[in-house]
A and B are shown apart, each in its own frame.
Chain A
Amino acid sequence: MKLYIEKLMIIFNREFTGYFRTPLASIFLLVFLALSAGMTFFMGQFFQRGQADLNSFFVWHPWLFLILMPAIGMRLWAEERKSGTIELLMTLPVTNSQLVLGKFLASWFFTLLAIIMTIPIWITVNYLGEPDNGVIFISYLGSWLMAGCFLSLTSCLSMLTKNQVIAFIVSTISCFIMVMAGFGLVLASVRSWAPLWLTEVIQSFSFLSHFKRIQYGVLDLTTFIFFISMIMICISINIFLVQLKKAD
């Protein structure tokens, strides 16, 4: 087990530091912070609402992650396949699960870094009023879990192509579908013809429905299990795809 974690951490470190070897990290962090702040203060009308909470901050996260998580995850496997380093990597004494987990965790913790960097917004709301910091903490946690879902899905899809642009587009569309499944308009259109159970199934798979509950400070077991199991399912499929597509 110790050896398993050791190898996983070597992969993790290479991937995590890889974000900082190119301008990708700084551009991503800058765009994420600028967009999340802009959306919170201008589109979310943070000041006009006059409420000491971060709803106007978190409400945009599914939409931001929709674009930004595929941007982070598109390179994970597509680049390895295109440059041929996948052959080097997979002839090292390492298992597919160590590779997939190491890469995924690196991208997930890089996202955590981006989320942590939004703390000034949390300080602002504490300075201006007395928000429920428990709800804010749960929202942060939920936001990170949701980002994990987007990333694991993107990682999985980036194994299917050698082209990072294709990986980005397909991932964005897939993430969009996962978000939209819980959108009122989509559910209403499904409800008109589908049985109730199908509508509920579609809604239960939506990132948006689960994230909305978290936003109000409700991190119930179902939501937690949903996000974690979504991540685990995507990682398992990713491990399978690595074995299947490595030599294509």
Chain B
Amino acid sequence: MRPAGYVRRRLLLAPVQVAAVASAVFLLAEVLPGDAAVVLAGDDPDPERIARIRESLGLDRPLLTRFAAWAGGLPRGDFGESLVSGRPVLGLVLDALGPTAVLASATLAVLVPLSVWAGVAAALREGGRFDRALTAVGVALYAVPEFALAVVLIVVFGGLLPVTALGGLTPAALVLPVAVLAARPLCSLSRLVRAGMIGALASGYAAQAVRLGVPERRVRYVHVLPNAVTPAVQQLARTVDWLLGGVVIAEAVFVIPGLGTLLVDAVADRDLPVLQGLAVLFAATTVLVNLAADLVAFRLAPRA
């Protein structure tokens, strides 16, 4: 198989996938109890007023008409307008993407080198003190729910570091959220690297290469490591996708106005155009990230 053909096929398929996800989300959101008009009326739910709001939002039109109107705008890059604020969805989503992207990049910059290093170091001394310590710490960190970890970090470091991003996403304000976000994937990634490394080291070809006189370091890092990290690449793709898909809890605790915050607001507001805009964005990122992961995996361990 040639990667170029594969990429072309996957990219052609992508719009179909995105459309399928967007339609599914539209239908799901459509059957949620209540609509934006009820939510907007809030604690003043005068039925007559709700009816007027519904009318002014165009929510009294049939379902298909609304979906068609929304889908019709897509080719022009028009994602519609938020029902609640009236602002263009594209602007809302792009505004929220900024902080999420900053947070994701910072997390990956810490996560990837650290997990590969830890996984390899543990595998090389399998069963050793470092291996056992890494396992224990990793497992414990993985077991702590995200918000519990956040609460603890805030109590401990609250005096030293900003505990919210209210003053902007400065490097100092990123420290705690990145620590919270990296904790869980760090554990799963380093364990996958470790398991893959142990498996690959034990396989025949590593020993064979050493016997043939290839320097041990070269065997480890040029031949074994690429094979060992293949399963981890898929997991990393999921992590990237997760980071870009709105890390709802971390954003809420640390007050980061990113995609996760927008998502929670949009569900609570029944703001369908915003939900659909997010669905399209999330679907597109997932397709691209997975494509990238497949390509990387293909390079590392070509299919026989």
The answer to whether A binds B is no
Identify the B interface with A (CB < 8 A). none
